[in-house]
Amino acid sequence: MDELFPFIIAKYNYWASLILLFIGLYGMIAKNNLMKKIIGMIIFQTAILLFYVSIGVKQGASVPILFFSEDHQPLLEASAYANPLPHVLMLTAIVVGVGTLGVALAILQKIQRVHGTIEEDEILEDMRQ
Amino acid sequence: MKQLTLIILAACALIMLVAASELPDWADPASPASSHLSPGFIEQAYEATHTPNMVTAVLADYRSYDTMFETVVVFLAALIIMIILRRTPHRRFCKILPQRPQRKGSDTVLKGAAQMIIPVMQIFALYVLGHGHYSPGGGFQGGVIFGASFILLALCYNLRFTLTRFRERLVLLCCAGGALLYAGIGALCLSLGWNFLGYAALAEILGVSEAMARSHGILAVEVGVGITVMAVMVSIYYDLASGGDMYEGL
């Protein structure tokens, strides 16, 4: 028990993002409604964002913005700040996520307009006729 | 079929969960992600760019190519949505279109609240954009807040009123103009004999040190990013909410 608890503390961020990842993937594969598939895709994206941001965390570190002492000298010590790189990557990934979500919703509207439904099996039936 | 998917995915998840125990511990300062590139950025970014917020410095200076094409991606998303959805409804065709609920009367509370919130939101967006060097913020965040203020206007009034205030043509000009401003700064640096997006080239024009010139360059491209993101958010909302005909929104 004494070994298990530190192990859980050290790894639970990966578990959380992996579980979210597979919830999203399941939604994308198994759901019949295209809107629910898109929701699965967004959960998938969010899991990856969480994964990257949790990698950037450092014990005892602050946000990656420089501290200045009383005499305006910056504190330039790598251990004092969280890793800025994952934040940068995810900042841009969030915006691209909004772009993909917008395009997905636009395609969904077009599908609804053409076929009158967003259920996958009904669309396939409509296409066969 | 669903059960099969569930079983396969559960097996994959189990394998990956086992593999996750090999990954470095959470918040470990000596993890590979935090021990190779990032100390260099943290220690050198301020000296090289005079930007206390390292995220902004890395985003708009060290990784400025990435951010530029990210902006282009968002711009392309707005264009693609427009290509997919935009249409001009025919007079006789209008009757076939599904009837959307028409809003009757006026919502005094809603409009009054919007009138109070929207100016504050827009000033806050400009603050977030301009203060990105010293606090969390920057072009993407400021642009999204600014775009949200127009979406709030469209929700509390209606789409046609918003279209008279912020026309579609102007939205598209802003979309392209922001990306063009970003690329233009890069081309200006190139024409001065430095690398593309090497902001240190601006030092001679602005009459400041190279590090300060990089700080100003970051601000300039952040403004470009902010304009594009703001316009793209509004454009996506216009197209999705009206189904592409710009006639009646939500």
The pLDDT profile of chain A, 129 residues, written as one tens digit per residue, is 678 888 888 888 899 999 999 999 999 999 999 999 999 999 999 999 999 999 888 888 888 888 888 888 888 888 888 888 999 999 888 988 999 999 999 999 999 988 888 998 999 998 898
Query: Which is it for the CA torsion B11, B14, B18, B20, positive or negative?
Result: positive
State yes or no: pLDDT of B126 exceeds 80.
yes
Alpha helix (H) residue ranges in chain B: 2-20, 32-35, 38-49, 54-57, 64-85, 108-130, 139-156, 159-165, 168-191, 202-206, 210-242
The shortest C-alpha distance from A26 to chain B (Å) reads 7
In tens, the pLDDT along B134-192 reads 988 888 999 999 999 999 998 888 888 888 888 889 999 999 999 999 999 999 999 99
Place B194 in a pLDDT band, splitting at 50, 70 and 90: confident
Q: Identify the closest residue of chain B to A80 by CA–CA distance.
A: B42
| B54–A84 C-beta distance less than 8 A | yes
**Rounded Cα distance, B172 and A68, in Å:** 42
Please state the pTM of the whole predicted model: 0.88
> Which range is least confidently modeled, A92-101, B18-27, B85-94, B203-212?
B85-94
Q: What is the pLDDT, as a whole number, of residue B93?
A: 52
Q: What is the pLDDT, as a whole number, of residue B100?
A: 55
Tokens encoding A110: 């077009």
> Which range is least confidently modeled, A38-47, B104-113, B176-185, B211-220?
B104-113
| B2–A92 C-beta distance less than 8 A | no
Tokens encoding A97: 């996520």
Helix (H) or strand (E) holding A112: helix A84-115
Q: Identify the closest residue of chain A to B78 by CA–CA distance.
A: A99
CB B81 within 8 A of CB B235: yes
- Measure CB to CB from residue B23 to each of A14, A65, A76 and give the nearest one: A14
User: Which of B5, B16, B34 to mutate: most A Cβ within 10 Å?
Assistant: B34
A62 DSSP β-pair partners: A81
State yes or no: pLDDT of B41 exceeds 50.
yes
State yes or no: pLDDT of B106 exceeds 60.
yes
Q: What is the pLDDT, as a whole number, of residue B21?
A: 84
**Rounded Cα distance, B182 and A28, in Å:** 36
B40-51: average pLDDT: 86
- Measure CB to CB from residue B46 to each of A10, A76, A85 and give the nearest one: A76
| A103–B80 C-beta distance less than 8 A | yes
State yes or no: pLDDT of B97 exceeds 60.
no
Reduced 3-state DSSP string for B184-230: HHHHHHHHCCCCCCCHHHHHHHHCCCHHHHHHHHHHHHHHHHHHHHH
CB B75 within 8 A of CB B228: yes
Average pLDDT, chain B: 87
**Rounded Cα distance, A19 and B155, in Å:** 36
Q: What is the pLDDT, as a whole number, of residue B96?
A: 47
Helix (H) or strand (E) holding A30: helix A4-30
Q: Which residues of chain A does B21 touch, with a Cβ-Cβ cutoff of 8 Å?
A: 7, 11
Place B88 in a pLDDT band, splitting at 50, 70 and 90: confident
Could you tell me what percent of chain B has a pLDDT over 90?
A: 45
The shortest C-alpha distance from B198 to chain A (Å) reads 19
B4-23: average pLDDT: 90
Q: What is the pLDDT, as a whole number, of residue B90?
A: 61
| A106–B84 C-beta distance less than 8 A | yes
> How far from each other are the two terminal CA atoms of chain A, in whole angstroms?
62
The shortest C-alpha distance from A64 to chain B (Å) reads 6
| A85–B70 C-beta distance less than 8 A | no
Q: What is the pLDDT, as a whole number, of residue B86?
A: 86
State yes or no: pLDDT of B69 exceeds 60.
yes
ipTM above 0.85, yes or no: yes
- The backbone torsions φ and ψ at residue A74, rounded to the nearest 5 degrees and listed phi first, read -70, 145
